[in-house]
Amino acid sequence: MKPKYLCLLGLFFFLASYILFSKILPHFESKIDFAHWFNLIGACLLLSFNDVFPKNKLNSAASFVTFLGMVAHIGLCTIDMINSSYGNDDAAQVGLSLHIVDSPFILYPFVIVGPSLLFIGLAMHAFNFIKTNTISTLMVIIAAPAIGISFFMLKNGVLMLLSCTIFVLGLGLLLFEQEKQSVKVKD
């Protein structure tokens, strides 16, 4: 499968996960944590952006940061899936949370700092297009921190979903613009 299609699939799964995280849809009981599975799949597929954007020094750094963010997303989703597997066992969930908070080697790379690196890396990739696609680039760069702020600080699922939608749309537009530029260069 071409990297472009993997990117699009990643954007789809990533946005789907944030729709479920936002809780705007009616909740249904399921033994499967679809939100975190979609987020995990989406984060892994978003790594394909490392292959579709121009190769330069900024891209090299962005690729590394995006990779670290993807690894952190895998860790965070795993932690959250373990937590949700406890079901209604509040004592087990509290025990896991306390253990994570007491373990800085888990807390910082997989909960606090690490997952943000995926957004930072993709925003760095987008920065390559600041002169040619200013609006799409700014959509990604502004929405990236807005997702975290709306979720962790404001605790607003709707604002988080709106920020993620803008982020995904900006990356999608840059992806198609990149393809147009490649076609023009080949002609």
Q: What is the pLDDT of residues 11-28, one digit of tens each?
A: 999 999 999 988 888 776
pTM: 0.89
Mean of per-residue pLDDT scores for the chain: 90
What is the C-alpha to C-alpha distance for residues 76 and 81, in angstroms, rounded to an integer?
9
Q: Check whether 185 has a pLDDT greater than 60.
A: no
Enter the tokens of residue 20: 């479920």
pLDDT at position 77: 92
In 128-156, alpha helices (H): 134-148
pLDDT above 70 (res 183) = no
